[in-house]
Amino acid sequence: MSLLLWLLLPVAAASGWWAAAHRQQTRRRANRARFNSAYGQGLNYLLNEQPDKAVEVLLQLVEVDPDTVELHLALGSLFRRRGEVARAIRVHQNIAARGGLSQELRNQARLELGRDYLKAGLLDRAEHLFRRLSAEGAHERQACQYLVDIYQQEKEWSRAIEVARRIAGSDPAHWQIRIAHYHCELGEAALARGDVGEARVRAEHARCEDAECVRALLLRAAACQHAGDFQTAIETYQSLGEQSRRLLPDIQQQLQACYDLSGQARRHPDASAVETGAFETRFRCEQCGFSSRKLFWQCPGCKSWSSVKPLGQGAPL
């Protein structure tokens, strides 16, 4: 009897282990099925622009599988989209601070954290993170794009030029237009403080970046006018072409002023039309639809450069 008992004990232990393992595997399969179902539901909410419902589903998923970093990243991004920036920051900070995380996931969390700071208006913190990521070669293109946005907000045009040039190769035409405007911003600031030489240099840099930059020609003409070189100013204004001059009535006034100051007793043929408002033009952004009676080099709505165009016209402004 005792021998039989000793023989049955291992069998009973093995049976108990198998039953427990089977129950655990069954629960795991059930949890995985619920997880997959909820994940699909959350994805569907995202695709249908229902972030509030997507957040609810992701919160449930995180409770089921708290070690899934990708879910936390998605949850933090959704918090940011909903305007809950403080919660997004906490989520992404916790991920970045985790031990045993792959460098790629840690860098992704730092990138998202930088975006959180940017959304919250914490530009210094965002800049610090993006500069570190860029220096390490992690998500460099995205980090540089965000850095350029920060420098635009802070009107640090020289730094914007420096960073933009690092990624200009990805889309040369787009970035050359932007860099040209950054030079014009610096040139206009120089002209405002009376530094005509710097203004002229910046105008030339802008033209080197974008040969069709009307703003650079205007800056060059204004610098010449400021320096008393009225003949060069007149020639520069005239080089803009009739169509551009008619779309920018201020040019007509400056051109007439140059004629007067240079001693040339000549009235520009369009000057009377400017005075009567005959050339009033409306402008609209090709990117976001923002409209105005005034030309903006950078759209106030979507912040795009050179996207505000005259309605019904094809003038390159």
Mean pLDDT in the chain? 79
Q: What is the pLDDT at residue 265?
A: 61
Distance CA 267, CA 257 (A): 9
pLDDT of residue 19 exceeding 80 = no
Q: What is the pLDDT at residue 162?
A: 96
Long-range pairs for 113-120 at CB < 8 Å and ≥24 separation?
113/89, 114/143, 114/146, 115/80, 115/146, 116/76, 116/80, 116/85, 116/88, 116/89, 116/92, 117/89, 118/146, 118/149, 118/150, 119/80, 119/85, 119/88, 120/85, 120/86, 120/89
For 61-72, b/e burial (b = at least 16 CB within 10 A) is: bbeeeeebbebb
| pTM of the shown model | 0.74
Top pLDDT among 201 and 280 is at 201
Percent of the chain with pLDDT over 90: 41
Write the pLDDT tens digit of every residue in 163-212. Answer: 999 999 888 999 999 999 999 999 999 999 999 999 999 999 999 999 98
Write the pLDDT tens digit of every residue in 249-270. Answer: 678 788 888 888 887 766 555 5
Q: What is the pLDDT at residue 86?
A: 92
The stretch 105-134 carries a mean pLDDT of 94
39-53, 101-115, 162-176: lowest mean pLDDT where?
39-53
Please give the backbone phi and psi of residue 166, each rounded to the nearest 5 degrees, phi first: -70, -25
Element (H, E) at 37: helix 2-47
Two tokens, residue 259: 């004629």
Strands across the sheet with 283-285, in order? Answer: 291-292, 283-285, 308-310
* Position 2 confidence tier, pLDDT thresholds 50, 70, 90: low
Q: What is the pLDDT at residue 220?
A: 95
pLDDT of residue 315 exceeding 50 = no
pLDDT of residue 124 exceeding 70 = yes
* Position 281 confidence tier, pLDDT thresholds 50, 70, 90: confident
pLDDT of residue 157 exceeding 50 = yes
Distances in Å between the alpha carbon of 131 and those of 98, 151, 179? 21, 12, 19
Distance CA 94, CA 110 (A): 10
The stretch 71-92 carries a mean pLDDT of 85
Distance CA 169, CA 303 (A): 21
* Position 43 confidence tier, pLDDT thresholds 50, 70, 90: very low
- Contact between 184 and 213 under an 8 Å Cβ cutoff? The reply is yes
pLDDT of residue 27 exceeding 70 = no
